[in-house]
Chain A
């Protein structure tokens, strides 16, 4: 999860997010080099004693500053498109979960085998126990088996919402009357936090998402208990 005054990404918990982190490092290095180049040029321009009021054109520099940006853009675009198509791959999901956005909570439905559904409300600050995270914890978590491809169908019952979990590299708009699909695989067990990412009213900031990835056996026990409680 995020820590206070964090600027960078959270640690990746899915292969897609790992790829995104690597692409970000790649793009950032290119940005760093361009920034260094611009800084150097500024210093050179400020300190030069050379002035020529009669320069009209220069073929060499124009070729350089046309070709170099084109090459750099290609070097950024190729890995970017690779990840874009990677994210669109359909990986035969083991489980499909419907995430429905409401004002102001999420509800999850596991309807592959039995009819399991529950609401997920944020735990108010005054009800938190020591060790829990303010504005991030929910009463019921979306539990999934680890290392299994999961498909999430996202929609909304009232206004626009967005289902986002940064450490899994997932964000999908919840649009009323529309079913959006996203898929992910968690690489490791753990608890991953996200928050609603589309303004949806007064409590937009208070409808978090908590995904808990557990071994399959634990997932089966959990779903059995949830069905019994329903």
Chain B
């Protein structure tokens, strides 16, 4: 167990359920949400001087910023995973087909016309 924690990031679960260390995009989303929450709450308070409502606005800022950051990061992450899979397939095919007619990096030869002129 100690070796696992040294090798990987020690898990840290928000509300006991969300592991922000190991879940891709979770940490960034929560941090962006915290920043958005503070920004929204402070700006609203400066504009209106209403304390309780500022907390409400701050929380709404947290909710929306976290959600937005999460979706943006996850969509980008999904696209990267697709690219990674394509690259892996390409590397595998290159290794298997190198030097053969199926080599994807081989330049097609321009064939000279054969036969009687």
- Of A18, A25, A28, A37, chain B has the most CB atoms within 10 Å of the CB of A25
In the assembled complex, how far is the CB of residue A23 from the closest CB belonging to chain B, in whole angstroms?
A: 10
| Residue in chain B with minimal CB distance to A8 | B19
- Type the 1/0 row for B59-73, where 1 means its CB is closer than 8 Å to any CB of A: 100110011001000
Shortest distance from the beta carbon of B89 to any chain A beta carbon, whole Å: 10
- Kindly provide the distance from the CB of A112 to the nearest chain B CB, expressed in whole angstroms: 23
Known contacts A33-B63, A36-B63, A44-B56; decide if A25 and B15 are in contact (CB<8 Å).
no
A33 touches B56 (CB 8 A): no
In whole angstroms, what is the CA distance A40 to B24 when docked?
A: 26
Chain A residue at minimal CB-CB distance from B59: A40
Shortest Cβ distance from residue B92 to the other chain A in the assembled complex, whole angstroms: 9
Report the nearest B residue to A75, measured CB to CB. B71
Interface of A is mostly: helix
Contacts of A44 in B (CB 8 A): 56
Known: A22-B78, A40-B59, A44-B56. A33 touches B67 (CB 8 A): yes
Query: Does B14 lie at the interface of the complex (its beta carbon under 8 Å from any beta carbon of A)?
Result: yes
B41–chain A nearest beta-carbon distance, Å: 12
Interface membership of A31, Cβ < 8 A: yes
Interface check A29, CB cutoff 8 A:
yes
Contacts of B70 in A (CB 8 A): 29
| Residues of chain B lying within 8 A (CB to CB) of residue A37 | 59, 63
Chain A residues within CB distance 8 Å of chain B: 8, 15, 18, 22, 25-26, 28-29, 31-33, 35-37, 40, 44, 48
18 contacts between A and B (CB under 8 A): A8-B19, A15-B85, A18-B81, A22-B78, A26-B74, A29-B18, A29-B23, A29-B29, A29-B66, A32-B14, A33-B63, A33-B66, A35-B17, A36-B62, A36-B63, A37-B59, A40-B59, A44-B56
What 10 A-B pairs have minimum CB-CB distances, sorted nearest first? A32-B18, A25-B23, A40-B59, A29-B70, A35-B15, A33-B63, A28-B18, A32-B17, A32-B15, A33-B66
